[in-house]
Structure 1
Amino acid sequence: MTDVPQRRLQGTVRVVGSGLLGASIGLGLRQQGVDVILEDVSPAARNLAIDYGAGRVGGADDHPTLIVVCVPPDVTADIVERELAAYPEALVTDVASVKVAPLRELEKRGVDVSRYIGSHPMAGRERGGPLSARADLFVGRPWVVAGHDGIGYRAAAALEDLILDLGATPIEMTPEEHDAGVAVVSHAPQVVASLMAARLRDAPDTSLGLAGQGVRDVTRIAASDPTLWVQILGANAGGVAEVLRALREDLDGVISALDEPEHPGALRVLAETIGAGNAGVSRLPGKHGQSKTYRQVIVMVDDTPGQLGRLLTEMGEIGVNLEDLRLEHSPGAQFGLAEVSVVPEHEERLIDDLVRRGWTIAGA
């Protein structure tokens, strides 16, 4: 018999919204043995998530201790207000990607927010819906708890228990701090990625055939749902606009330098722009939240079954930990490039051992 993992959260959890986040929360909690009720405006979506094991249909006798609202930002306040009224003993949270707007709307309506606290797991996938849900979606990810003056720490304890049970890391922020933060690390990057990807619509096929990992990295999130992002950007418009205005000023400077590259100081503008990017990237937390610079080793991998698995297995045999992995495959080539990130002190040993085992290192 499989032992149920020790959990912190007690009682029943009601999840409203059975999309990617709602279904993933349900799956993760069910693995911990938590009783999960699923609700959705679409019975078909709810029943599909239930079929995959994310929870059960609710009943009249249910008394949840915690309610997690997982609906689009434009209806978050409506559903939170409804759930607060329907379950007067429960703590209610939401996982919308903006935190100021729902709280202010509830306060404007005169809703008692002493049992409401917004939150936001910084996790997701390019695809939505219950079919994309995963029990481990939140493992190792930050989960913002956006406290406010109307609720105390003790009243919000069940939310922290949920976050820890799902393997995430609770991060305390005010709603204002959260919205300013996601504007610069999530919402503005979405706009930039979409704008850059839009340049590809009219590009010649011959140009697209040259696409490598760089353009794929920049445009990866451009495949996001436009309907959802209209709501997100509208709810956090001020913060996003502020970031984009600063970006526009920087971009104008780069354009001026490119228009007259022979002009004194033009090359310095370009160099400082790239250098500023280096400095910004170096501040991003890496594995386990550490700000650490890794070295990249690019290994040529034959385009045959099992080769990537063999590479990773042999890295384990060498005793070098994989910090990150990216794959690139050029059209028509019979091999791919695996860019593995390792700590600097292991780079030389990894290259030497892989070469001895017959691997080809690009650039070596």
Structure 2
Amino acid sequence: MRTVAVVGTGLIGTSIALALRARGITPYLLDDDPEAARTAAGLGAGVAEVPRTPVDLAVLAVPPQHVATCLRRQQTRGLAHDFTDVSSVKVRPQREAAELGCDLARFVGGHPMAGRERSGPLAALPDLFHGRPWVLTPAGRAGERAVGRATELARLCGARPVVMEPAQHDRAVALVSHTPHLVASLLAGRLLDGEESQLQLAGQGLRDATRIAAGDAGLWTDILSSNAAAVVEVLTELAGELETALGALRELAEAPAARDAGGRDRLTAALARGVRGRGLIQGRAPGGLRLSGAAAGT
């Protein structure tokens, strides 16, 4: 793969372009906002212009709701021989692309599992994807060449390609990304009702728990809307567990003398479950690789 175009020069698109530049490929940068493309180019991410001939691969770094229409538009104009995207939802965009009549033999869905709470080209990093999973969800009609180029893109960016079914991917990110973001945002929103004397006591634990809530609200509305069914499943189960914890706390509040009653046991069980769940990712580097020895803090 020698030529690449990146459509959408936000955090992810510009980070991909910077990673490719470090590997000797100069991407063409396209964006509906010309200033964003020029900013990315000014960072050394590529050239803000339309290629004269089709490139090998076009990366569609646009929100989930725009993937299908962007793919249709860029295939019609002949931007590239093959296409991939980087959106964090896969079922809906691929279904919509099929409905629009896109050539899915030349398209491979993709999702690099990396990001930051900041957005825009100025937040981009050339090593954002190093060691991280890069999920590929080729449709049944995806051609071998397109799959090969999407896989090469992930590796050029320092990521670890992982092939999944679209629905499997969406269920996974609902658990490990989308629902956590929503919960962090709801928790952070409670701070708006806090008094200054309360907020000044905030420590690192609260900052860690709400860090991702600083992400772009509009983008995350699009992500959550596009993966709503999978998020509902996870959130419904979480709501049930919250209700159990709430009931236990109410029991303890109303009968504080019954410290060893069922309410205390249920609360302990909920906390212990959290300890076990946290342990499943404690020994993993960001991206899922297991750490060992000193690297895992043991």
Instruction: Give yes or no for TM over 0.5.
Output: yes
CA deviation after TM superposition for structure 1 residue 52, in Å: 0.9
Residue-pair matches, total: 290
Q: Deviations over 1:275-329 (max 9, x none)?
A: 11111111125127344588xxxxxxxxxxxxxxxxxxxxxxxxxx5x4xxxxxx
Cα distance in 2, alignment partners of residues 267 and 59 from structure 1? 64
Higher helix share: 2
Residue 49 of structure 1 is aligned with which of 40, 56, 59?
40
**Which residue identity does 1:272 align to in structure 2?**
A
* Displacement after TM superposition at 1:149 (Å): 0.8
Structure with greater Cα Rg: 1
Residues 320-335 of structure 1 aligned to structure 2 (within 5 Å): 323=295
- CA RMSD after TM alignment: 1.8
Q: Report the secondary structure of 1:250's partner residue.
A: helix
Partner of 2:255: none
Instruction: Write the distance in 1 (CA, Å) between the matches of 2:58 and 2:80.
Output: 10
Q: Secondary structure at the residue paired with 1:107?
A: helix
After superposition, residues 289-308 of structure 1 pair within 5 angstroms as 289-291=288-290
Deviations 1:91-110 (A, max 9, x none): 10011111111100011223
Q: Residue 71 of structure 2 contacts residue 102 of structure 2 at CA under 8 Å; is this kept in 1?
A: no
- Partner residue, 1:141: 132
For residues 17 and 210 of structure 1, what CA distance do their matches in structure 2 show? Answer: 40
2:35 maps to 1:36: no
Residue type matched to 1:165 in 2? L
Aligned to 1:156: 147
* Secondary structure, counterpart of 1:207 in structure 2: helix
Aligned partners of 2:32, 2:134: CA distance in 1, in Å? 25
Of the structure 1 ranges 29-38 and 146-155, higher mean CA displacement relative to structure 2 is found in 146-155
**Structure 2 residue matching 1:125: 3-state secondary structure:** coil
Work out which of the residue numbers 237, 245, 249 in structure 2 matches 1:246. Answer: 237
**In structure 2, what is the equivalent of residue 25 of structure 1?**
16
| 1:207-356 map, 5 Å | 207-261=198-252, 262=258, 264-284=261-281, 286-287=284-285, 289-291=288-290, 323=295, 343-344=297-298
Change (3 A) 1:81 1:250: same
Q: Deviations over 1:164-193 (max 9, x none)?
A: 111111111111011101101111011110
Conservation of the 8 A alpha-carbon contact between 1:93 and 1:118: yes
CA distance in 1, matches of 2:38, 2:24: 20
Structure 1 runs (4+) deviating above 6 angstroms are none
2:167 partner letter = E
Written as runs of structure 1 = structure 2, the 5 A alignment for 1:61-80 is 61-80=52-71
The corresponding residue for 2:122 is: 131
**Per-residue CA shift, 1:217-255, capped at 9, x if unaligned?**
111111111111111111001111111110010000001
Does the aligned pair in 2 maintain the 1:282–1:291 contact within 8 Å? no
Q: Aligned-pair distance for 1:196?
A: 0.7
Deviation at 1:142? 1.0
Aligned to 1:120, what secondary structure does the other structure show? strand
Shift of 1:209: 1.7
Measure how far apart 1:88 and its partner are: 7.4
TM-score scaled by length of structure 2: 0.92
Unaligned runs of 5+ in 1: 1-9, 295-320, 324-341, 345-364
| Structure having the larger proportion of residues in strand | 1
Decide whether aligned partners of structure 1 residues 240 and 234 sit closer, same or farther in structure 2, where only a CA change above 3 A counts: same
- In the alignment, the residues of structure 1 paired with residue 289 and residue 185 of structure 2 have an alpha-carbon distance, to the nearest angstrom, of 29
Shift of 1:59: 4.3
CA deviations on 1:100-123 (whole Å, 9 max, x unpaired) are 111000112232211111100111
Q: Do 1:84 and 1:115's aligned partners in 2 also have CA atoms closer than 8 Å?
A: no
TM-score (norm 1): 0.76
Change (3 A) 1:50 1:292: closer
| Cα separation, 2, equivalents of 1:59 and 1:195 | 41
Any stretches of 5+ residues in structure 2 without a counterpart? 253-257
CA distance in 1, matches of 2:74, 2:209: 39
